[in-house]
Amino acid sequence: MAGRRPLLGALLALACCAAQAAAWKLTLIEQADPPAWERQQLERAYLGHSGGSLKTAVALGLDDARFETEARQTTLALQTVAGNSLEAAREQARQAEKSGAQALLVDLPGDWVQAVAASVQLPVLNLGARDDRLRERDCLPRLFHLIASERMRADALAQALASRKWNQVLLLTGNAPDDAERSRIAQAAIQRYGLKLAASKSFKLSTDPRERQLANPLLLTGGLAYDVVWVVDGQAEFARALPFNTASPRPVVGDGGVVALEWQAQYERYGAPQLSRRFLKASGRPMQAPDWAAWVAGRALANAAMTLRQASPQGLREALVGVNVDGSKGVSLQFRAWDRQLRQPLLLSDGQGVVAQAPVEGVLHPRNVLDTLGADEAEKLCKVQP
Amino acid sequence: MPHTMQKRPPHRQRPPLAQQAALALTLALGLLQSATAQSLALVSSEKDNAISVIRLSDLQILPAIPTCKRPRHMQLSHDHQRLLVACSDSAAADVIDLHTLKSVDHIPLSDDPEIFDVSPDGRTFYVSNEDDAALSFIDTASRKVVASVPVGREPEGVRVSADGKTVYVTSEIANSVHVIDTASRKLLKTIAVGQRPRRMALTPDGRELWVTNELGASVSIISTAEQKVIATLLLDLPGARASDITPVGLQISRDGRRAFVSMGRANHVAFIDVASRRITDRVLVGRRAWGLALSQDEKRLYVVNGLSDDLSVVDVPAARALQTLPVGRVPHTVVLY
């Protein structure tokens, strides 16, 4: 009996793998020449902003799974296209679906993501848009989010402030397109974690003496008592110059000072340096937060594809819902069933290293502590369920 | 021949200074029998470029041994005269003389070595190279890399079979154990295990290979004859969630009856009955329990805690921690000598 077992095992192995051979086609759609890739923007390397095309990161994620995918005779081929408008990106998505792609990965502005996801039946993996509405009122059952939502990032910062008892927050909000909405999200997080809004002010990036009340950090931050400044600045230029320029010697968080990130290349734990090094070798630049989202998308797609015998968009969508992925952040990650957001720890960084991690120690949740970051199930903010 | 996590001899060892004469004699006889118990615990510290030294008789901390950069895995040489230390940032193994407690040699290893094992004849080092995703074969005589076998990303644990014919390597990213034939230097098989496999131990009869899955909160048990997973042991701890149980260190007792698994962030060590594959005890130790080593008489278990920079001394029969001792920053491996 013992002698027969290996043979039987070998036969079973053959049967499994012959049946599982599957060729997957994936299409990455990115914006052609986005403002974030202008030379000066890239050189400034604002924390959390794009460091360039996500093609290399997705390919690395797929390649990291090569030993496993090859063993199951599964291949995943990645094609990249770039669109210069919402309409162009939507057309590219339709073309990709027509030519047999089983999934789309998108690094596009929020409204483009929504338009693309609404125009196809394929699973769409959002790599770059942090807009909460894509996870809430505009959510779709086939739209998966690898990048964290703005609310997750705000919750991460609020947890860190609460754990330090830096309760009095001075909130400064800019006038970039999403700043008002992001400021609202920050205020909700401040309230959720029992912090107090010492004051909320708008700022403007300007050197015009007539606007100095709006533009001068000392005037904006003087004459008030607060523990910490939280700056909401999508452009990040004002926020970058704010730390050490406040009227009171107080730390800065938000889009300057300490920022909540999906990844930071200096992160030292859980095998993170190996991933950062692999990415640097493959791309020639340090791994930024959106690169991690793209890499983990490749890992998640490979893991999901390996469980399937045939390449089909519907099968893939179902497999992604149940997938477990190792994101080199110390815990196994999954998509939340209620909004298809990848639950994940966030790293709080000043750009020189990781100063804290969220969820912070001591924060509790009845099921999964990672669900203290972002919209939870009971809120039912995404009404569209599969 | 026992094949446990820290390869240790089936005999007692001597303290470094006491028995030089006896040592010469036993060496001359080609025997390494002695009635003396192990005397020191040696703990590599990734951030101090040093090895902490603890005297076991009274648990006193002795001066640390300076070593090369980022020391991680360590094991005794086959003659038990030397300690071999893999230094990830020096791309070398430091060789420490156990009598003088000083570095006496450097063996170049390929880039970013993390863990290694040595062939039974002592001639070849098998080294996992984290960044190159390869297992290197290093000839100890010529000190050259004689072969490099590509494996899955972030290879970690390395374990050679008792007959020296097979070497097993875990890949943290590929969620697999690779089976490599040492003669042909070829990858024979890739066995899918749990998420983020780390360390391995062979049962003394060589029939089972146990593998810790850090993100799977489990141990995969592989039949070495069938080269497949025959059982998966899920680790649990009352009051802890599976996501907080991140097993890494693993050792099996000489009689093959018990296994000891460090549970990482769950801050416990699990004692496992090998035959029934059940956890019998869970012992609280320090933060992120990591490498571990069992004393010669198997009455004490020493566990390094990666996030609290200390070493827990566990009373095995009583299944409880006795004492905790500070060691260097980010301790990785403990070896008893």
pLDDT digits (tens, 9 = 90+) for A296-307: 999 999 999 999
C-alpha distance from B163 to closest chain A C-alpha (Å): 21
The CA distance from B133 to the nearest CA of chain A, in Å, is 10
Chain A: nearest CA to B129, how far in angstroms?
Answer: 11
Written as six digits, the tokens of A18 are: 């012959």
A60: closest chain B residue by CA: B153
**Final residue of a domain: which of A238, A259, A280?**
A259
Q: Does A383 touch chain B (CB under 8 A)?
A: no
CB B152 within 8 A of CB B174: yes
The answer on A242 and A119 residing in a single domain is no
Residue A18 has pLDDT above 80, yes or no: no
Q: Which residues, at least 6 apart from B307, have a Cβ–Cβ distance to it below 8 Å?
A: B286, B287, B288
Q: What is the Cα A186 distance to its own chain's centre? A: 17
What is the arithmetic mean of pLDDT over B90-94?
A: 93
* Residues in chain B closer than 8 A to A326 (CB atoms): 172-173, 175, 195-196, 215
**Of B169, B194, B300, B303, nearest to B246 (Cα)?**
B194
Is A331 within 8 Å of B243 when comparing Cβ atoms? yes
User: For chain B, percent helix, then strand, then coil, each to nearest 5?
Assistant: 5, 50, 45
Res A386: pLDDT: 63
Region of B11 please: left (phi>0), alpha (psi -120 to 50) or beta: beta
| Residue B175 to residue A71: CA distance in whole angstroms | 12
What pLDDT shows up at residue B2? 40
Burial A335-365 (b: 16+ CB within 10 A, else e): bbebbbbbbbbbbbbbbeebebbbbbeeeee
For residues A133 and A48, membership in a common domain is answered with yes
Task: Mark whether A25 and A101 lie in a shared domain.
Answer: yes
Interchain CB contact of A271 with B (< 8 Å): yes
Q: What per-residue confidence (pLDDT) applies to A117? A: 97
Q: CB–CB of A332 and B152 under 8 A? A: no
Extract the runs of DSSP E, i.e. beta strands, from chain A.
Answer: 22-31, 74-83, 103-107, 124-126, 143-145, 168-173, 196-202, 228-232, 252-254, 259-261, 325-326, 332-333, 346-349, 354-358
The rounded distance, in Å, linking the Cα atoms of A228 and B157 is 45
Q: Which CATH number covers residue A237?
A: 3.40.50.2300
Same domain, A64 and A109: yes
Residue A71: CB partners within 8 Å, gap ≥ 6? A17, B176, B190, B192
Give the percent of chain A with pLDDT over 70: 94
Which amino acid does the sequence have at A184? R
The DSSP code for B36 is P
Nearest CA in chain A to B132: A278
Q: Let me know whether A175 and A216 are in one domain.
A: yes
Phi, psi (deg, nearest 5) at residue A179: -60, -40
- Whether residues A71 and B190 touch (CB distance < 8 A) is answered with yes
Position B28, amino acid: A
A124, A125, A128, A132 alpha-carbon torsion, rounded to 10°: 80
In this structure, the strands spanning B176-181 and B186-192 are antiparallel
Q: Assess whether A87 and A206 both reside in one domain.
A: no
Nearest Cβ partner of A326 from B176, B195, B226?
Answer: B195
Residues of chain B positioned with their CB less than 8 A from the CB of A71: 176, 190, 192
Interface check for B190 against chain A (CB to CB < 8 A): the answer is yes
Three-state secondary structure call for residue A216: coil
Cα(A92)–Cα(A82) distance, rounded to whole angstroms? Answer: 8
Domain with A211 in it: 152-259
Collapsing DSSP to helix, strand or coil, B100 comes out as coil
Among candidate residues B304, B301, B336, B305, the one with its CA nearest the CA of residue B318? B301
Residue B288: pLDDT over 60: yes
pLDDT of B297 above 60? yes
Residue of B nearest to A323 (CA): B195
CB B6 within 8 A of CB B29: no
pLDDT, average across residues A311-320: 96
Chain-chain contact of B173 with A65 (C-beta, under 8 angstroms): yes
In the predicted structure, residue A47 carries a pLDDT above the cut 60: yes
Pairwise CA distance, residues A278 & B252, whole Å: 34
Span B167-215, pLDDT tens digits: 999 999 999 999 999 999 999 999 999 999 999 999 999 999 999 999 9
Cα separation, B127 vs B297, in Å, equals: 30
Q: What is the pLDDT of residue B124?
A: 95
Pick A326's closest partner by Cβ from B131, B192, B215.
B215
User: What is the mean predicted confidence (pLDDT) over A275-302?
Assistant: 97
B154 and A271 within 8 Å at the Cβ level: the answer is: yes
CA distance B24 to B34: 12
A161-187 confidence digits (pLDDT tens): 999 999 999 999 999 999 999 999 999
Question: What's the maximum distance between 2 C-alpha atoms anywhere in chain A?
Answer: 91
Residue B228's pLDDT band, with cuts at 50, 70 and 90, is very high
The answer to whether the CB atoms of B215 and A331 lie below 8 A apart is: yes
Q: Does residue A106 lie within any of the structural domains?
A: yes
The pTM (predicted TM-score) of the whole model is: 0.87
End residue of a domain, out of A212, A240, A259: A259
A143 & A41 share domain: yes
Distance of alpha carbon A362 from alpha carbon A162, whole angstroms: 11
- Contact B131/A277, CB-based, under 8 Å? yes
Q: Within an 8 Å CB–CB cutoff, is residue A280 touching chain B?
A: no
CA distance to partner chain A, nearest, from residue B151 (Å): 8
A368 in a structural domain: no
A-B CB pairs within 8 A amount to 56
Residue B224: what pLDDT? 97
Please report the pLDDT score of residue A2 as a whole number: 41
Residue A218 located in a structural domain: yes
- Chain B stretch 218-257, residues whose beta carbon is closer than 8 A to a beta carbon of chain A: 225-226, 228, 241, 243, 246
Chain A residues whose CB is inside 8 A of the B215 CB are: 324, 326, 331-332
Q: How many residues does chain B have?
A: 337
Q: How far apart, in whole angstroms, are the C-alpha atoms of residue A16 and residue B246?
A: 30
Q: Are residues A14 and A136 in the same domain?
A: yes
Task: Give the residue, B268 or A19, on which the prediction is more confident.
Answer: B268
What's the pLDDT tens digit per position in B8-67? 444 444 444 444 444 444 433 333 434 356 899 999 999 999 999 999 999 999 999 999
Contact B259, B253 (CB under 8 A): yes
Mean pLDDT over all residues of chain B?
89
Q: Which of residues 145-184 of B touch A (CB under 8 A)?
A: 151-154, 171-176
Would you state the pLDDT for residue B5?
42
Residue A24, beta-bridge partner list: A76
Q: B299 and B315 in contact (C-beta within 8 Å)?
A: yes
DSSP state of A343: P
The backbone torsions φ and ψ at residue A316, rounded to the nearest 5 degrees and listed phi first, read -65, -45
Looking at chain B, the number of H-run helices and the number of E-run strands are: 1, 28
Q: Quick count: other Cβ atoms within 10 Å of Cβ B185?
A: 14
Question: Residue B235: what residue type?
Answer: L
Work out the average pLDDT over A277-302: 97
Final residue before a domain boundary, out of A259, A278, A294: A259
Q: Which amino acid is at B308?
A: S
DSSP B303-333: EEETTTTEEEEEETTTTEEEEEEE-SSSEEE
Contacts of B246 in chain A (CB under 8 A): 330
Q: Do B172 and A271 touch (CB under 8 A)?
A: yes
Residue A381 counted as domain residue: no
Give the mean model confidence (pLDDT) for residues B58-79.
95
**Which candidate in A8, A67, A279 is best for mutational testing of the B interface (most B CBs within 10 A)?**
A67
Residue A123 vs residues A116, A172, A305: alpha-carbon distances, Å: 11, 38, 12
Task: Please check whether residues A227 and A273 belong to one and the same domain.
Answer: no
Is residue A360, in this structure, part of any structural domain at all? no
Among the residues of chain B, which ranges form H helices? 20-29
A292 with A166, same domain: the answer is no
Residue B280 has pLDDT above 80, yes or no: yes
Number of domains in chain A: 2
Distances (CA, A) of A132 to A114, A117, A137, A333, A364: 12, 15, 9, 20, 23
Map tokens 């290197």 to a residue: B136
Chain B residue closest to A299 (CA)?
B173
**Average pLDDT of every residue of chain A:** 93
All residues of chain B having their beta carbon less than 8 Å from the beta carbon of residue A67 are 151-153, 171, 174, 176, 190
Residue range A219-261, pLDDT digits in tens: 999 999 999 999 999 999 999 999 999 999 999 999 999 999 9
Residue B35: predicted pLDDT? 36
Average pLDDT on B136-163 reads 94
Mark yes or no for CB contact B176/A68 under 8 Å: yes
Cβ A6–B246 below 8 Å, yes or no?
A: no
Residue A83 lies in a domain: yes
Contacts of A252 (CB under 8 A, 6+ apart): A228, A229, A230, A231, A239, A242, A243, A246, A258
Identify all chain A residues contacting B154, using CB atoms and an 8 Å cutoff. 271, 274
In chain A, DSSP finds a helix count (H) and a strand count (E) of 14, 14
* pLDDT at position A20: 54
B172 vs chain A: nearest CA distance in angstroms?
9
Q: What pLDDT sits at residue B38?
A: 84
Closest Cα in chain A, distance from residue B245 (Å)? 9
Name chain B contacts of A271, Cβ cutoff 8 Å.
154, 172, 196
Neighbours of A119 (CB within 10 A): 16
Written as six digits, the tokens of B289 are 């329990």
SS3 A10: helix
For residue A358, is it within any domain? Answer: no
Q: How wide is the angle at C-alpha A202 spanned by C-alphas A198 and A203, nearest 5°?
A: 120
Task: Note whether A297 and A175 are same-domain residues.
Answer: no
Q: What is the predicted pLDDT for the residue at A12?
A: 44
**Calpha distance A299→A291 (Å, rounded):** 12
Contact B215 A64 (CB under 8 A): no
- The C-alpha of B52 sits at a distance from chain A's nearest C-alpha, in angstroms, of 22
Q: Which residues of A touch B195 (CB under 8 A)?
A: 324, 326, 332
Asked if A241 and A271 sit in the same domain, the reply is no
Give the chain B residue nearest A61 (alpha carbons): B173
CB contact under 8 A, A278 and B153: yes
DSSP summary character for residue B207: -
Interface of A with B in 30-69 (CB under 8 A): 64-68
C-alpha span between A381 and A375 (Å, rounded): 7
CB of A245 less than 8 A from some CB of B: no
Residues of A in contact with B131 (CB under 8 A): 274, 277-278
The continuous run of DSSP H or E covering A122 comes out as none
Note whether residue A204 is domain-resident.
Answer: yes
CA–CA min distance B335, chain A (Å): 23
Nearest Cβ partner of B228 from A9, A64, A330? A9
Query: In this structure, what token pair is assigned to residue A142?
Result: 């086939």
